[in-house]
Amino acid sequence: IGQFVLLDEFQNLIEREQKSRSNDPITNDIKLQVVQECRTRHQWDAKALDSLRVIQTQALQDRSVSDKQQWESAAKFMES
């Protein structure tokens, strides 16, 4: 899920830049190709995934979650 969100944000950034006054239309096609290549070729490094899990776990400490249902829901979200 995170990868798709990141790539969507990357594409949104490029699209906003293309609408700006400082945009150079010559580079538009190559920028869109870069986004497409990122979507098809990118793979997460296993070490990066482990780091993200640690960050998520630390962000969801007991004091952040008010009840068991919220905790289980957060844990399920992290696993997906």
Residue ranges of the domains in the chain? 1-43, 45-80
How many alpha carbons fall within 13 Å on the CB side of residue 30? 4
Tokens of 48: 């990066």
What's the pTM value of the predicted model, to 2 decimals? Answer: 0.45
> Mean pLDDT in the chain?
80
* pLDDT tens track for 22-32: 777 788 888 88
Predicted local confidence at residue 36, as pLDDT: 87
* pLDDT tens track for 32-43: 888 888 888 877
How far apart, in whole angstroms, are the C-alpha atoms of residue 63 and residue 69?
14
How far apart, in whole angstroms, are the C-alpha atoms of residue 77 and residue 80?
5
**Spatial contact of 11 and 35, defined as CB atoms under 8 Å apart:** yes
